Structure 1
Amino acid sequence: MPADYLLSVDLGTSHTVAVVVWPDGRTRPLLFDGSPVMPSAVFLDPAGTLHTGKDAERLALTAPERFEPNPKQRISDRTILLGDREIPVTAAFAAILSRVARAAIESVGHLPNAVLTCPAAWSEQRRAALHDAAAQAGYRPVQILTEPVAAAHYYTSRLSHRVAPGQPLAVFDFGGGTLDIAVLERRPDGSFGVLADGGLPDLGGLDFDAALVAHIGETVRQREPEIWKRLEQPSGASELRNRRELWEEVRGAKEMLSRSSVAPVTVPDMAQSLHLTRGELDQISRPLLSRAVGETQRVLALTGRRPEQLAGLFLVGGSSRMPMVAKMLHEGLGIAPTVLEQPELPVSEGAALALTSAAPVTPPAPMPSSPPQLTAPSLGLPPVTPGSDQTIPLRRGGDDKAPEPPRRGTEYKARRIPPKWIAIGVAAVVLVAAAAVGVWWFTNPYKQRPFAEELREVGAAQALDGEVDDGIYEVRSVGDRSAMFYTTSSSDPSGQELHVRAVDNRSGELLWDAEQVLPGDGWNPVFFVSEELIAFSQEVEAGAEYKFVFLDWETGRVRNTVTSWARDAARSGDLLVIGPVGGDAFEVYDAAGEQQSSWAFDEGVTVANWNLVGTPDDIASPTARANGDGRLWAVTSNGVTHVYDLESGEAVSSKEIETVEDLYYAWDGLLYVAVDKETGYDLNVYDVEDLSQVQSIEIQSGEVPPEAVTVCGETLVCVGDLVPETTNAYHWHVYDADAKEIAHDFDDREYGWIEPLGNRIMAEYYAGDDVRTQLYDQDFETVNNNLEVTFDPIDGGSALTWPARSTFGTAVGNVIGLGRDGSRADLRIDLEVYACAATDSRLACLTPAGSQIYSFRDE
């Protein structure tokens, strides 16, 4: 089957657009009922079939209660009530994507690899809903690209507008449900990085429609009060149908006013039509658009740039076609925006252009049965679980010096040894060996411990205080305690209530339950938990300052609150690293929220890449969450690499070694840098202490660039490049830091993510559309297993899978244990949870019944 086509889908609030890229580089939009713009609407018929697009709109006239015009706007609700049935939001997404897939197959003969777009501010949980929906619709694992980056590629590639490296571009995405604003910067390699983003989640085309309906309603109420009463408060199917027809009339009039000065509006049951004028539309729109202009000015101010420094202001999204939008933005910013006749199209085509251009786009690593993952494209780092304690998982690179090989050619003079002494010697060797085996068994960090026959409840479920609302729920387990986070609805419309509780893993008892009121909803905080530290980040308001709240592990009370302009943070042991603050500084805090150290770079020098230096302890005890050896590396905009000690804030080393665009990875005293070349790439290895080069090794990959670097064993680092014509399948090259050579190539299959399970390797690979798990021993031979689920390591000798937190609301799945010898233990079937986290013997979960601790082996 051909694999050189690409499908790009922009599933918007009101409309869906899809583009196919042909092998010769041509792009063509798919047509739905003769139009490139398909309504993002669904209708559930009595037989249980979901209809989409215009078919759904036509069927809605027969049974409005079975119709949802904007399922994307319902993503926080997790489910949609259609008639007498409740369906997951992901099912609605899957129906739309299935319609797109059928059109693609009709167009090119098969379903190509696909890229989907989403707002820049979407959490990984919301992005996971797209991944889930695409899988349900029969897609291979998809790439997700943010909408402003896609729009920026359209602006430079298709419209041929020049954006110089370092120059900012603003994207104003005005859709049916929300306004999303981003300021991006062009990088030297042609890609785009987001400098600042924001928007208004409560302002979109639907809000203009509502304002226009209210305006029309004033006239109808005066002339025909009974008609308006039925339209405003419909009580039956016929009245619901009339209400929908009115909204469609108003929406059509609004779009017509983009081209003319007056538009008719037919009100159901009224004998005479009304009309709207361009002047009325402008008058109604001005207060709404004033908010949009103010938000644009605020987001731009976050970057420190002035409007005249922008390379352009690009308007996308269907609501951008209203003439008043461009007019007020021009008045407010002093620059003329760029807007197209069909502003719904650029995001979809721009995503396709981004993936087919030379600009690097890093795909996410799919984890179907473990929490969804995200990547750090600008850093060249492996995925990290959303909301997890650090920015990347860590990987070891080996000792500073490889051991010397055994000497060869040494001559020994043979002499005969009496049999008695041979026997005594053999016995001694056996005793010594036995003793050594005993010591090794008790000290071996990778021994395999048996699982229980089934998952057992530890204590009774502790009921949740309130009903979980829109999907902010996380669990962190460390040692004998678990921290659980979930939100419930607030009586204050400006916020939510974040509940934080501590549970004893040994007894299942609730230690304490604290409530934090959060200003605003729709965002996803990040949680940091260790033996001493329990903290979370909180956005004060969209795009503004961030608060880092430190709690007391013993009481749940707030110990300290730190305000910062930096949204990124990572945990190393019991320390929290926040940065880069202001783009050029780092701050380090202890578990009490007291600052331990800080440092800043020279004026005008900003941080391009950064992360922690990993430690081998993360392999032997992955759930202990050591997260680093106490040092941080950073690459600054002037091309200098720095290493800092976190406790003292002192520089360990600083040196110009590679460029900021390369892939960096630090592990166990070594820094690895993957440098793209014309016919492959180099893996350069440096000593963290002084950044002196240890080795450079060439990896042959043709013209395929490196995409990821991660740990895959105590002395093994895996470097991955994408399989040609795919978006998230890798070939992995295993570098042995002791032998200083490429020890193995995983290139016989299309592999997903790869990681160590003790001193063995656990790799995902694709079998058709399925993702499976295979273990490999130290000789890279397969261990006797081939599992159709993926796992997370829980100690040096075993792994566990549990229901994925990848949908809104609860998830149902199996709990399965995996030994490093490939043995499988089925512990529980169809466990329903919100979220879980594991130690090496306990699984802590938020369930519909409350917080529950489960045991799968003796402590």
Structure 2
Amino acid sequence: MAGQDGGHGLGVDLGTSHTVAVLRWPDGRTRPLLHDGQPILPSGVFLDAAGQPHVGRDAQRLARADPGRYEPNPKRRIDEPAVLLGDREVLTVELLAAVLGTVAGAAVEAVGFLPPAVLTYPATWGARRRETLAAAVARAGWPPVAAGGTLLVPEPVAAARYFADVLCRPVPVRSALAVFDFGGGTLDIAVVRNEGTGAGGRTRFAVVGAGGLGDLGGLDLDEALVEHLGRTIGAADASVWERLVRPVTASQWRGRRQFWDDVRGAKEMLSRAATAPVPVPGVEQALHLTRDELESVITPLLRRGVLEAASVIARCGLSVHQLAGLFLVGGSSRVPLVARLLHAELGIAPTVLEQPELPVAEGALAELPVAVPAMQGGAGMPTSPAAVGGAPVPAQNRGHAAAPVAVVAAPPAGPTPPGGPTVPARLPGPVRRPAVWIGAGALLALVGVVVTALLYLNREPYPGIDFAPFTEVDRIAIREENPSALFTATAGKRAYVAYQRADQRLEIAVLTAGSAKVERWFTTEVAAERWAWIKALPEVLLVRADAITTSAPRDVIAFDPASGEQLWSRSVRGDDELYFFDDHVVLLDATADALVGIDARSGDDWTLPSPKGDYDSDSAVHPVRTAPEVGGAAELDGDPALPNRGDEPRLVQVGADDSIRVVDVRSGRVLASRPGAADTDDTVLAYEGQLFVAPSNDGYGLARYDLATLGPPTSIYTAPDKSRRPLDLEPCGERQVCLLENAGSDAASTELLAVRTDGTGSQEAAWRRAVPQARDLQPVGEHALVRANPGNPVSKLFSAGGDELLDRDGVAVRVDGGNLLVFAEDPGTYSQDASVAGVVAGSGALTELGQLKQVNTASCSWNTSVIVCGARAEFVVARFTAAGA
């Protein structure tokens, strides 16, 4: 195997359900890294009441007592910033770091220090997901490898290494190998080509095509088996099945999880036996599942995987017979039917091992440099793990908070925008100041016009609120004990509150926000396992159900707030995305791979297929922002509380083929398009009449397009060095945008910078300010709000000219373009006393508003005078302005 003389090494396959690591010793021997005596570490994380994470089998055991504190599949949450565990929101990057830290601790125990490491990732992951993984690596305290840093390698490249180097199967130069990676959460398929000898005399493998099914993995086979057995259980005792499907008590949740575990165990046993028992909580006699039953249930699902494999291979311009092999990896490949179907329907005999979980981790070791310099600081001496973000840190790496990360054979990032002729364009600020027309009238009229114009031009476009300490307006009682979810929303002078009832339906009240007067109550006709959110549009209230698995359908329902009547309902999936406009909702349908525009009142819709690319990656959607939107209220995550997308609502779609197009939201008509202009992982801002694109690669540039034509772009900014990458992009003043930018994965290096958009600059930043550990950027009228330090939040506010107006502990949210509320702590779903302050953006003047007692701060919403929050048994409405304001 390549790298035999390179000393110790660690290869890690961070999986959806399980994580596998393989150690290499200086003599070239390899062996799996053991956890509790097992080579496979469950990837689940449990957060105890003290905030301490537990990983693996310990997490599984603890979850039986308190399932709400357990996340079984952190990798599946890669696109979510945080996950609710018990009464705390935990950053997804911290969950991943906890798993990697557990691996690091086991490696330190095995060899005395943390060896140079290589970590794998799916070939279809874009730059944003890889950055999240890199951040988790840094939080886990992994040491750098030589000068390049910890290596990130695509999973199919690592699998190809194992196939060629360990199994000694021939893959001739320019020949290709298909890798069928069937894991717990996803099916990833890739074609990897031998590109010949590279640096160091090693064979270079590159991904030439990739795809897969994000909704097909071992978990989905388990779900199909659960539903199959459920028909038998429900026919015998409907109450038993109801408890398993819709658990309410902690014991019922434990029973549900145990049942799923037993179904999974039976599936695995049927790889070796003809029948397997499945105990049912609350039933004396166990069910028996046969291999024939298993195969009849899962065959339709696996056929989808076979068709996807054929499609990926064909898109690479290859026939199956041109491949050097078909290699099956991932734990779910152990199901015998997988190999049989692939052989029968593709005509090629797959290679599958007794332990298909191991090849990716072991193959990754071949990507480590052959010669590894001796580590500094006593690398060969035993060290004790120290916790950093829940992860052990080897002694030689303490003090290196963010090790550099090198990416090997990563999918190509979007192209750097070419320079071109300047497109005449203007980025309007939050207020369009009308020109003053002077006619040949009388002198008094002229003076009146001039005085009026001067007064208008000098007024503050977003006046400050007259903040005052909280005055409770009223409390709205919840009609039953212990509701399982609380939601609020505001829309101008109207507010909404909702909670999940014991019968799983959603109870909703419409309020007059200023007085907290209840206009009406109404209830959804359908029940749901849980509910995700409510969203207020100007004339419609939307609610969405939720489900545990991504593939399970869930309802989006529209109501008329004036009557409480249901207007329409539509079924969506967990990986579908929704975008909101004044009178429309746009759905990015992942299954159909299409945009669907829905009239918010009538439910009438249009469908527009998404652009196809070489890979089966999703497209990205960016609503065209407007000045009134960034001057209105925002939710906790920064999305507009009440969409205000203008009279001609549009969106920009970045296709899987790297094209961009502008779409009319009301008709679905494509207004303009341009090929090869952006990657789906690029940082993109569509604001008023312009589009800004910053490729997510090192040493990027910022390009500006005219939205009306999408003609040749103008380059308006170039990063000063190749270590720079964009994190976020927002408007921050007239003819100006602001960027969050950092150097690689080093969060301490993050800066906020302003770029002129009118072509008067020199492709350099107008100004820069250090904002270490920044996690997001939000526009506040003509100001820029940076929120930093997750877990110990800090909010900073900067003027359009770069003056720091606010530096305050806590999480700031936009009330409107001139005002903020600042929560002293990260909002969460648990009940707490929440201290809040009001801030006038223009001056930074701060008013302490007092405390909201025992509220669920994650449920809060607000307008420019009142805040509405859920509490344990009621909803609280409190005013934060002076009387009469």
TM-score range relative to shorter protein: 0.5 to 0.7
Match in the other structure for 2:643: 626
- Tell whether 2:660 aligns with 1:641: yes
SS for the counterpart of 1:291 is: helix
The alpha-carbon deviation at position 21 of structure 1 amounts to: 12
Contact 2:178 2:327 in 1 (8 A): no
The alpha-carbon deviation at position 460 of structure 1 amounts to: 1.8
SS for the counterpart of 2:677 is: coil
Match in the other structure for 1:276: none
Q: What is the rounded CA distance, in whole Å, between the counterparts of 1:12 and 1:332 in structure 2?
A: 28
CA deviation string 1:196-255 (max 9, x = no partner): 5245758659999xx9xxxxxxxxxxxxxxxxxxxxxxxxxxxx9xxx9xx999999998
Q: 2:576 aligns with which of 567, 579, 582?
A: 567
The alpha-carbon deviation at position 463 of structure 1 amounts to: 0.4
Match in the other structure for 1:357: 407
CA deviation string 1:238-274 (max 9, x = no partner): xx9xxx9xx999999998997x8999x9xxxxxxxxx
Contact 1:676 1:705 in 2 (8 A): no
Q: 2:427 aligns with which of 368, 383, 398?
A: 398
CA deviation string 1:5-31 (max 9, x = no partner): 999784876x65568999xxx999765
Q: 2:816 aligns with which of 795, 815, 826?
A: 795
Contact 1:182 1:299 in 2 (8 A): no
Contact 1:762 1:775 in 2 (8 A): yes
SS for the counterpart of 2:302 is: helix
Q: What is the rounded CA distance, in whole Å, between the counterparts of 2:588 and 2:747 in structure 1?
A: 30
CA deviation string 1:267-325 (max 9, x = no partner): xxxxxxxxxxxxx99x7444235433333335777999599889998766656546566
Q: What is the rounded CA distance, in whole Å, between the counterparts of 1:830 and 1:750 in structure 2?
A: 30
Match in the other structure for 1:653: 672
- Tell whether 2:794 aligns with 1:772: yes
Q: 1:297 aligns with which of 303, 306, 317?
A: 303
Q: What is the rounded CA distance, in whole Å, between the counterparts of 1:64 and 1:675 in structure 2?
A: 41
Structure 1 counterpart of 2:767, one-letter code? H
- Tell whether 2:834 aligns with 1:819: no
CA deviation string 1:165-202 (max 9, x = no partner): 9999764324xxxx655678999997966655245758
Closer, same or farther: CA 199–254 of 1 in aligned 2, 3 Å: closer
Structure 1 counterpart of 2:407, one-letter code? S
RMSD: 6.5
Q: What is the rounded CA distance, in whole Å, between the counterparts of 2:599 and 2:266 in structure 1?
A: 59
The alpha-carbon deviation at position 635 of structure 1 amounts to: 4.0
Q: What is the rounded CA distance, in whole Å, between the counterparts of 1:163 and 1:480 in structure 2?
A: 68
SS for the counterpart of 1:511 is: strand
- Tell whether 2:537 aligns with 1:530: yes
The alpha-carbon deviation at position 617 of structure 1 amounts to: 1.2
Match in the other structure for 1:418: none
The 5 Å alignment of 1:261-660 reads 284-298=290-304, 305=311, 318=331, 321=334, 323=336, 326=339, 339-344=352-357, 356-357=406-407, 398-399=427-428, 444-453=460-469, 455-465=470-480, 467-469=482-484, 474-490=487-503, 496-516=504-524, 518=526, 521=529, 525=532, 527-536=534-543, 543=551, 548-562=556-570, 567-579=576-588, 586-595=595-604, 608-623=619-634, 625-629=642-646, 630-636=649-655, 640-656=659-675, 658-660=677-679
- Tell whether 2:688 aligns with 1:668: yes
Match in the other structure for 1:751: 774
Which stretch of structure 1 is more off in the superposition, 809-818 or 555-564?
809-818
Structure 1 counterpart of 2:540, one-letter code? L
Match in the other structure for 1:369: none
Q: What is the rounded CA distance, in whole Å, between the counterparts of 1:659 and 1:163 in structure 2?
A: 32
Q: What is the rounded CA distance, in whole Å, between the counterparts of 2:714 and 2:793 in structure 1?
A: 35
Q: What is the rounded CA distance, in whole Å, between the counterparts of 1:582 and 1:35 in structure 2?
A: 37
Q: What is the rounded CA distance, in whole Å, between the counterparts of 1:680 and 1:548 in structure 2?
A: 42
Q: What is the rounded CA distance, in whole Å, between the counterparts of 2:747 and 2:359 in structure 1?
A: 21
Q: What is the rounded CA distance, in whole Å, between the counterparts of 2:67 and 2:20 in structure 1?
A: 18
CA deviation string 1:394-445 (max 9, x = no partner): xx97149xx9xxxxxxxxxxxxxxxxxxxxxxxxxx999998887568x633
Contact 1:12 1:40 in 2 (8 A): yes
The 5 Å alignment of 1:207-246 reads none
Match in the other structure for 1:231: none
CA deviation string 1:506-538 (max 9, x = no partner): 22243333333557647x756542111222456
CA deviation string 1:73-101 (max 9, x = no partner): 59999888xxxxx9999999998777556
Q: What is the rounded CA distance, in whole Å, between the counterparts of 1:580 and 1:257 in structure 2?
A: 35
Q: What is the rounded CA distance, in whole Å, between the counterparts of 1:555 and 1:734 in structure 2?
A: 47
Closer, same or farther: CA 766–56 of 1 in aligned 2, 3 Å: closer
Q: 2:711 aligns with which of 671, 689, 692?
A: 692
Contact 2:787 2:795 in 1 (8 A): yes
Closer, same or farther: CA 301–618 of 1 in aligned 2, 3 Å: farther
- Tell whether 2:865 aligns with 1:841: yes
Q: What is the rounded CA distance, in whole Å, between the counterparts of 1:527 and 1:691 in structure 2?
A: 35
Structure 1 counterpart of 2:799, one-letter code? D
Q: What is the rounded CA distance, in whole Å, between the counterparts of 2:73 and 2:669 in structure 1?
A: 49
Contact 2:179 2:189 in 1 (8 A): yes
Contact 2:583 2:601 in 1 (8 A): no
SS for the counterpart of 2:601 is: coil
SS for the counterpart of 1:717 is: strand
Match in the other structure for 2:240: none
SS for the counterpart of 2:816 is: coil
Q: 1:786 aligns with which of 783, 807, 818?
A: 807
Structure 1 counterpart of 2:708, one-letter code? E
Q: Which runs of 5+ in 1 are unaligned?
A: 81-85, 122-126, 141-148, 212-239, 266-279, 363-376, 381-395, 404-429, 491-495
Q: What is the rounded CA distance, in whole Å, between the counterparts of 1:720 and 1:340 in structure 2?
A: 46
The alpha-carbon deviation at position 743 of structure 1 amounts to: 0.9
- Tell whether 2:753 aligns with 1:737: no
Q: What is the rounded CA distance, in whole Å, between the counterparts of 1:112 and 1:73 in structure 2?
A: 28
Match in the other structure for 2:182: 172
Match in the other structure for 2:442: none
Match in the other structure for 1:680: 699
Closer, same or farther: CA 572–97 of 1 in aligned 2, 3 Å: same
CA deviation string 1:322-355 (max 9, x = no partner): 6566557766887756655544557889999997
SS for the counterpart of 1:197 is: coil
Q: What is the rounded CA distance, in whole Å, between the counterparts of 1:294 and 1:43 in structure 2?
A: 34
Closer, same or farther: CA 30–795 of 1 in aligned 2, 3 Å: farther
Aligned residues: 702
TM-score, length-normalised on structure 2? 0.61
Contact 2:657 2:676 in 1 (8 A): no
Q: What is the rounded CA distance, in whole Å, between the counterparts of 1:857 and 1:667 in structure 2?
A: 31
Q: What is the rounded CA distance, in whole Å, between the counterparts of 2:643 and 2:312 in structure 1?
A: 43
Q: What is the rounded CA distance, in whole Å, between the counterparts of 1:459 and 1:16 in structure 2?
A: 51
Q: What is the rounded CA distance, in whole Å, between the counterparts of 2:727 and 2:602 in structure 1?
A: 33
Contact 2:535 2:542 in 1 (8 A): yes
The alpha-carbon deviation at position 680 of structure 1 amounts to: 2.1
SS for the counterpart of 1:452 is: strand
Calculate percent identity across the aligned residue pairs: 24
Q: Which runs of 5+ in 2 are unaligned?
A: 1-8, 78-82, 143-152, 165-170, 194-205, 230-253, 278-286, 368-403, 417-424, 433-446, 635-640
CA deviation string 1:363-393 (max 9, x = no partner): xxxxxxxxxxxxxx9999xxxxxxxxxxxxx
